[in-house]
Structure formats: structure tokens, C-alpha cells
Amino acid sequence: MAATIKQIAEEAGVSRGTVDRVLNKRGSVNKETAEKIKKVARKLGYKPNIAGRALAAKKKKYTIGVILCSEGIEFFDDVLHGISVATDEVKDYGIHLKIRTMKGYDALYQLRLIRELEEEDINFLIINAINDKMIKAAIDGLKEKDINVITINTDIEGSSRLCYVGSDYLASGETAAGVLGLITGGNARVAIAGGSAQILGHLERCEGFKKALERYDNMEIVCAFCTEDEDERGYDEMKKALKEHPEINAVYIGAAGHNGVCKAILEEGRNDIAVVGSDLPPSVKKLIQNGSVKATICQQPYTQGYKAVVTAMRYLVNGLYPEKDKYIMKNEIKIFENL
């Protein structure tokens, strides 16, 4: 039998009115008291009146803010498609989205976008978070104002976000190392073309790759650089790496920038280099089809966008907390034969 507001009030040592205000978001309650009530409600298995809350949501008209570091990155086209489909599905609950996009990984600019959405009275935030102390503090500040946050595609260390929807980047990097080991027969001098040091997922991919490479006696990393998710940067850095390390015979691309990296390899006449990439936007698919990339590790971007919006809706409308701290997408290996 589901717990009642009366039972929650008795165990939490507060009035039924206080419990009602917290669970149904009808007024301000001391932060510590509110957290205590929510904890007791979860412990007792409290189930809100979904039909009643849905009706109330239509009248309230919730707003979900979205911030993505997506400009110039094909990968996010599928994330945005998932968000768009979910938005159409949740609009009947009186929910609409305000989407902000940005190019690059400027934490100050992302902080400004957070503040702008906060001033526009959002009720929830979905963010492709830059791994910076300022962004963590902003997420914590939103939580104190009862604006919960879902991190999408990449997580952030130590914040009070509600949950994370995205890839297991450590496993992605480990898988890439295993695939490269199979392609090269475990004999490789590897260059890592990482993304940005500002993105936790990019760092974790490289960490996972390095960890898995330890299993091989004759595979070593000879250099590593960041593409900052830009083809021009990837091209310049790969050209430089090939001149300084002509022994390179394998490359792991851990973020965007595949076209630039592969163009540099092609111009140097190095068709002996085995390349394993990340994700499967149209440009990477073409590179696999023409043989420039041997394999890529995918992370279901459409599902990430869709799942994040639906999870936020379920919390706002139905008062349902995420069942998991992290919703992890399945890593998939794509090669020419299974495109």
C-alpha cells in the first residue's frame, strides 16, 4: 500500500501541510526540512497522484531550459532531434522548452546562459555541462532554488545534479583500445586526438583508452593532442604529430574533428595508419565508407536527448524521481560491414 502524506508527516516530524507544500510544490519550505521530507517519501515508497499533478501542470505551464555545446558539431544534430521529438510529446502537459546553444567550451559564457535562463523563470535545466567549478556552483545554486538539473552527454564532477543521461566514456575509450588492438595485431604507436580538457567525458574516454592499452605489450601512446571538436584544429595538430612522430601507425579520435585528422593523414600519404573514431554523424560514416576510419564507438545521441526531456517531465509533472543516478547509453561498435 502506498504511503500517505500523513505517514510521511509523522515519520519526518512535521505537519501534513508542510509535506503537502514540499511534495506538491505549493510554497516555500526550509531546504533541510524539504530534503528530509523527500528522503522519507522515497523511503516509504510514496507515489504522487499522477493524474492530479498532470492536470495541475497544464495550468502551471512548466519551462525546461536546455544548454548544449553543440554549434558546429554534427553529433548534436541527433541529440537535438531526440529533444524535439520528446518536446512534441510533453507539450500536452503544459511544458515547453527554451534551448540555448553555444560553440566551444567557454565556462563564463555557459554560466551567462544559465543566468539568462534562470532570469526567464525556468523550472528545470538540462545541460551539456562544462566541467568547471563555476558551472558546478551554478548547478548547486539552482538546486537551492528548487530548479533541478540533468546533465546530458557529459557529466560534471561533484555537483548536486538530479541525474546524468549519456555515455560511459571510460568504457567507450576501453572499447576503442580493444578494437585498435585487434586491427593492429597489438603492435601500434598511437596518437590520441582528444576533444577538450574542459569536458569530463572527453577526459574519461582518453583515460579509459590508456587503461585498456596497458594490456598490450607492444602498443604505446607516442603523443596526444586536443581537437577542441574542430576540424581545423584536428588537421593542424595531426600534421604536427606526424612530422614529429613518423612512427605513428594508429590514431584514436576521442571526440569531433575526424575530417581534419583524416585529411592530414591522407595528405601525408599515410594510408598505413589505422584510425578508430567516436560517434557516427554523417561525416564519420563517409570516412568509414571510404576506408579512412576503420571503426567507431557510438553512444546513441537521439536517445540521450529524448530520455533527458522525458525524465525532466516525469519529475516536474508527476513528482517522480529518476530511478537511476546515471542513465547510461549502450556503447556500439560500428564498422563498414554493419553501417
Instruction: Give the pLDDT confidence of 84-138 residue by residue, as tens digits.
Output: 999 999 998 899 999 999 999 999 999 999 999 999 999 999 999 999 999 999 9
Is 333 inside a domain boundary? no
Least confident of 47-56, 222-231, 245-254, 329-338: 47-56
Q: Which residue has the higher pLDDT, 190 or 38?
A: 190
pLDDT at residue 50 greater than cutoff 60:
no
Q: Which residue has the higher pLDDT, 37 or 300?
A: 300
pLDDT of amino acid 58: 52
Q: How many whole angstroms separate alpha carbon 249 and alpha carbon 153?
A: 30
- 290-311 pLDDT, tens digit each: 999 999 999 999 999 999 999 9
- Label residue 51 by pLDDT band (50, 70, 90): very low
Q: How many domains is the chain partitioned into structurally?
A: 3
Helix or strand holding residue 224 (H, E): strand 218-226
Is 227 found in the same domain as 183?
Answer: yes
- Encoded amino acid at 76, one letter: F
Is 134 found in the same domain as 84?
Answer: yes
- 136-173 pLDDT, tens digit each: 999 999 999 999 999 999 999 999 999 999 999 999 99
Is 215 found in the same domain as 188?
Answer: yes
- Encoded amino acid at 69, one letter: C
Helix or strand holding residue 148 (H, E): strand 148-153
What CATH code is carried by the domain that includes residue 92?
3.40.50.2300
Is 334 inside a domain boundary? no
How far from chain centre, in Å, is Cα 1? 37
Is 261 inside a domain boundary? yes
Kindly state the cell numbers that stand for 162: 538530479
Is 101 inside a domain boundary? yes
Q: Which residue has the higher pLDDT, 19 or 270?
A: 270
Least confident of 46-55, 301-310, 322-331: 46-55
pTM: 0.84
Is 203 inside a domain boundary? yes
Question: 263-283 as b/e, with b when 16 or more CB fall inside 10 Å?
Answer: bbbeeeeeeebbbbbbbbbeb
